[in-house]
């Protein structure tokens, strides 16, 4: 299938900004639809995804979204598909913490094709084809990062689906303590955007869902950041993967 990638990137940018506009307005969107021990779903998630799906429908490409799901075999197939996180950082959004965004990615299998992350709180849109260049509000961005890991910042998180057992947490701590600082933002998509643009230097999460990272993976690739993804899906946790990105390939775990 031949794709007009610049046109699809423009469509994804426009769709993310349109969703960001309604999220920033926020009228009635912080209504809690569901809440459990580790997660929360708002009316905002649902309305934002509806808007984005409607705008992408004309492309005829299949969609995976956080709220409405999608075909779980798409990441295993050789065909393009959209991946939507209509509001990444939902709990931050609920509490009024300005660390949340809209993420849209186009992938083929587990390879990113293009991505858009729109930070509607700052009105900043980071976008790129995976082949580059990386754009911030349409202008090319050339990020810089430190050369040494003991000067580097790692962004991470504890998603609802990860292993919280003692051995798993011990292994996690052993790996991440190589970095100078560790930060948890509550938005995987925004974390990947920050690494891509040079505000941080690495990102990792286990059992993170594909919609949390799809848009950011393309940005990382466009910026020249090393990416490692290992599927970890189970029937109970579809669309899950273990993800590391780092500005130096040597910083990825062995």
Whether 30 and 135 map to the same domain: the answer is yes
Whether 25 and 96 map to the same domain: the answer is yes
* pLDDT tens readout for residues 182-208: 999 999 999 999 999 999 999 999 999
Whether 226 and 121 map to the same domain: the answer is no
Domain CATH for 188: 3.40.190.80
Distance of CA 134 to the CA centre of its chain: 15
DSSP 219-244: HHHHHT-EEEEEE--BTTBTTEEEEE
More confident residue, 176 or 59: 59
Domain CATH for 56: 3.30.540.10
Whether 10 and 135 map to the same domain: the answer is yes
* pLDDT tens readout for residues 107-166: 999 999 999 999 999 999 999 999 999 999 999 999 999 999 999 999 999 877 778 899
**Residue 178 is part of which domain span?**
149-251
Whether 128 and 224 map to the same domain: the answer is no
Rounded mean pLDDT, 165-177: 88
- pLDDT, residue 238, reads 87
Total domain count for the chain?
Answer: 2
Whether 75 and 199 map to the same domain: the answer is no
Tokens of 52: 């984005």
Neighbours of 170 (CB within 10 A): 10
Whether 9 and 135 map to the same domain: the answer is yes
Q: pTM above the 0.85 mark?
A: yes
- pLDDT, residue 233, reads 80
* pLDDT tens readout for residues 31-83: 776 666 567 778 898 999 999 999 999 999 999 999 999 999 999 999 999 99
DSSP state of 93: H
Whether 158 and 123 map to the same domain: the answer is no
């Amino acid at each position: 299938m031949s794709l007009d990638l610049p046109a699809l990137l423009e469509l994804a940018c426009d769709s993310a900004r349109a969703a960001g506009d309604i999220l920033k307005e926020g009228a009635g969107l912080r209504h809690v639809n569901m809440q459990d021990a580790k997660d929360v779903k708002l009316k905002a998630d649902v309305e934002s995804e509806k808007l984005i799906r409607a705008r992408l429908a004309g492309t005829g490409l299949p969609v995976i979204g956080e709220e409405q799901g999608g075909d779980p075999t798409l990441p295993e197939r050789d065909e393009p598909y959209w991946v939507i996180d209509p509001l990444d950082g939902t709990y931050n959004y609920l509490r009024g913490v300005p660390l949340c965004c809209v993420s849209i990615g186009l992938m083929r299998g587990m390879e990113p094709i293009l991505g858009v992350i729109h930070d509607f709180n700052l009105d900043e849109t980071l976008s790129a084809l995976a082949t580059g260049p990386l754009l911030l509000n349409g202008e090319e961005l050339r990020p810089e990062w430190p050369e040494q890991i003991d000067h580097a910042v790692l962004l991470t998180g504890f998603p609802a689906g990860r292993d919280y057992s003692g051995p798993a947490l011990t292994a996690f701590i052993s790996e991440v303590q190589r970095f100078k600082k560790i930060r948890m933002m509550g938005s995987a998509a925004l974390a990947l955007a920050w690494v891509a643009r040079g505000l941080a230097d690495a990102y990792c999460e286990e059992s993170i869902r594909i919609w949390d990272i799809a848009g950011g993976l393309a940005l990382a690739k466009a910026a020249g950041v090393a990416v490692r993804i290992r599927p970890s899906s189970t029937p109970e946790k579809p669309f899950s993967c273990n993800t590391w990105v780092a500005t130096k390939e040597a910083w990825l775990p062995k």
